[in-house]
Amino acid sequence: MYKRMLVGRDCHGSMPLSSLKPWLQAAPAPQPISASTMPFVLAILLSMCVWMIDTFGNEEQRHRFCPPLCTMEKFASYCLTEPGSGSDAASLLTSAKRQGDHYILNGSKAFISGGGESDIYVVMCRTGGPGPKGISCVVVEKGTPGLSFGKKEKKVGWNSQPTRAVIFEDCAVPVASRIGDEGQGFLIAMKGLNGGRISVASCSLGAAHASVILTRDHLNVRKQFGEPLARNQYLQFKLADMATRLVASRLMIRSAAVALQEGREDAVALCSMAKLFATEECFAICSQALQMHGGYGYLKDYAVQQYVRDSRVHQILEVQREAWGNLIPCRDKGNSCHSHPQLP
């Protein structure tokens, strides 16, 4: 039933948060159902925002913000990306000038998941000079004067998830809403993204897993030349290759998750590697699944096309692949790295 609801919401381009709360509250644990569930599983069950507040916030902030977010009475959005700063997050321009016991925010954030729908916005803004040390983290609540939102973006996928610009125009936020110390925002943002990369990779895994199952079932049912496609050896080999890529991605994600959980020195590199590998391999699985469905795979009545559309953006989120060289250290004759996984 939930999957049918998601397909319908994808077509209509909306997903009321009220329709999600009962299902999520009843769920025993996060599970990679499909890419279609990803936008809200990522934003709620694996929320970077809650982790940031819980880890870096003070006692009053944790008691104020975390309980309603954990029970999903409220929702949060993570605001880092700007129109002029994506992968180069340290160059963000949204300013926060201190006036007494308030910061006055001016600027805008782009591509914000849940923008306009969420109740709480964890915002990275510039309280100091240029570069990463001038960035701080503040919480802005919906309804704060000076906070507004752009139009709902029209996306290739993730249509059940609202994405908007978040705009600050002389938006006064109490200094008491700052998470951590002044200048600590970039560190908070980067540490949060490590878990975010595991989440994005895991969501790709869910889409790929669903695509493999759908393809297996389709090959068993669809007949050509007098027999099921499942008896075609070429297609058997293709399905085996998809399953192998799926398992390899799962193992890599789990390895990175363990490293992050244990606080190991190589956690950053492994999280980055897992995200890079899994999002590309799992998208390839989804694309192959659509191909093996033939013309049916291109119809919106069949879920596999949505997995392809929804999972494509995973290769862009949390730093796109072209910028990974700064995050995945390697050894060569001219370079050594201080936080690398065990490389040959």
Q: Which two tokens stand for residue 265?
A: 């020195």
Judge if 222 and 258 occupy the same domain: yes
How many Å apart are CA 208 and CA 307, to the nearest integer?
8
Does 333 score more than 60 pLDDT? no
d(CA 244, CA 284): 12
Q: Does residue 132 share a domain with residue 47? A: no
Q: Is the pLDDT of residue 210 over 70?
A: yes
* Nearest C-alpha neighbor of 218 from the set 272, 294, 131: 294
Residue 223 shares a structural domain with residue 291 = yes
Q: Domain range spanning residue 120?
A: 76-181
* Residue 27 sits in the same domain as residue 113: no
Q: Where are the alpha helices (DSSP H) in the chain?
A: 2-12, 17-26, 38-40, 48-56, 59-70, 185-221, 233-262, 267-292, 304-312
What is the average per-residue pLDDT within 135-146?
96
User: Is pLDDT of 40 > 50?
Assistant: no
- Catalytic residue selected from 73, 169, 318, 322: 318
pLDDT computed for residue 160 by the predictor: 81
Which residue did the predictor score with more confidence, 306 or 328? 306
Q: Which 3 state secondary structure label does DSSP give 245? A: helix
Residue 314 lies in a domain: yes
Judged by DSSP in three states, 262 sits in: helix
> For position 207, which CATH number holds?
1.20.140.10
- What are the beta bridge partners of residue 98? 103
Residues 175 and 94 reside in one and the same domain: yes
Taking residues 19-34, report their average pLDDT: 50
Q: Among residues of the chain, what percentage have pLDDT more than 70?
A: 79
Q: Is residue 344 part of a domain?
A: no
Is 139 found in the same domain as 20?
Answer: no
Same domain, 130 and 218: no
The predicted-structure confidence for 168-182, as pLDDT tens digits, reads as follows 999 999 999 999 999
pLDDT at 15 over 70: no
* 141: annotated active-site residue: no
Burial class (CB in 10 A: 0-12, 13-18, 19+), 310: buried
Same domain? For 209 and 298 the reply is yes
Does some domain include residue 340? no
Paired tokens of 97: 């000038």
Give the residue carrying structure tokens 């889409």. 207
Q: Is 327 helix (H, G, I), strand (E, B) or coil?
A: coil
Answer yes or no: is 307 within a domain. yes
User: Of the candidates 158, 181, 204, which is a domain's last residue?
Assistant: 181
| Final residue belonging to a domain, choices 132, 162, 181 | 181
Same domain? 85 vs 41 = no
Q: Which comes out higher in pLDDT, residue 172 or 85? A: 172
169 assigned to some structural domain = yes
Distance CA 38, CA 45 (A): 10
Whether 337 is covered by a domain: the verdict is no
pLDDT-derived band at 72, boundaries 50, 70, 90: confident
When mean pLDDT is compared across 9-13, 259-263, 300-304, the lowest value belongs to: 9-13
| Torsion of the alpha carbons at 101, 106, 111 and 117, rounded to the nearest 10 | 50
pLDDT of 145 above 50: yes
Q: Please, which pLDDT band fits residue 130 given cuts at 50, 70 and 90? A: very high
Q: What is the pLDDT of residue 332?
A: 41
Lowest mean pLDDT among 3-12, 25-34, 196-205: 25-34
DSSP β-ladder status, 135-141 and 178-179: antiparallel
Which of 146, 181, 216 is the last residue before a domain boundary?
181
Q: Give the mean model confidence (pLDDT) for residues 239-255.
A: 97
Q: Which of 116, 184, 193, 124 is nearest to 150 (CA)?
A: 116
Task: Give DSSP secondary structure letters for 184-211.
Answer: -HHHHHHHHHHHHHHHHHHHHHHHHHHH
Closest C-alpha to 249, from 205, 200, 203, 195 = 205
Local confidence band at 24 (pLDDT 50, 70, 90 cut-offs): low
272 and 204, same domain (yes or no): yes
The CATH number linked to 142 is 2.40.110.10
Domain count, the chain: 3
Say which amino acid occupies 52.
M
User: What pTM, to 2 d.p., does this model score?
Assistant: 0.81
Phi-psi region of 146 (alpha: psi -120 to 50; beta: other; left: phi over 0): left
Three-state DSSP at 173 gives strand
Closest residue by Cα to residue 192 from 38, 330, 318? 318
Residue 106 has pLDDT above 90, yes or no: yes
Lowest mean pLDDT among 236-240, 245-249, 311-315: 311-315
Residue 11 dihedral angles phi and psi, to the nearest 5°: -65, -40
pLDDT score recorded for residue 255: 96
Please report whether residue 330 resides in a domain: no
What's the pLDDT at 42? 42
* pLDDT for residue 32: 39
Residue 139 has pLDDT above 50, yes or no: yes
Give the per-residue pLDDT at 26: 56
- Integer Cα distance of 344 and 338 in angstroms: 15
More confident position, 340 or 256: 256
Residue 19, domain member (yes or no) = yes
pLDDT tops 90 at residue 234: yes
Average pLDDT over residues 22-40: 45
Whether residue 129 sits in one domain with residue 32: no
Contact of 78 with 149, CB cutoff 8 Å: no
57-61, 121-125, 195-199: least confidently modelled range: 195-199
Q: Are residues 195 and 173 in the same domain?
A: no
Ranges 8-17, 170-179, 201-210: which has the least confidence = 8-17
What is the rounded CA–CA span in Å between residue 35 and residue 158? 8
Average pLDDT, integer, range 15-21: 59
Token pair 């119809």: residue: 299
User: CA-CA distances (angstroms) from residue 286 to 12, 38, 129, 155?
Assistant: 22, 15, 44, 18
Mean pLDDT (the chain) is 84
| Percent of the chain scoring above 90 in pLDDT | 65
d(CA 39, CA 18): 15
In this prediction, residues 280-287 reach a mean pLDDT of 97
pLDDT given at position 322 = 56
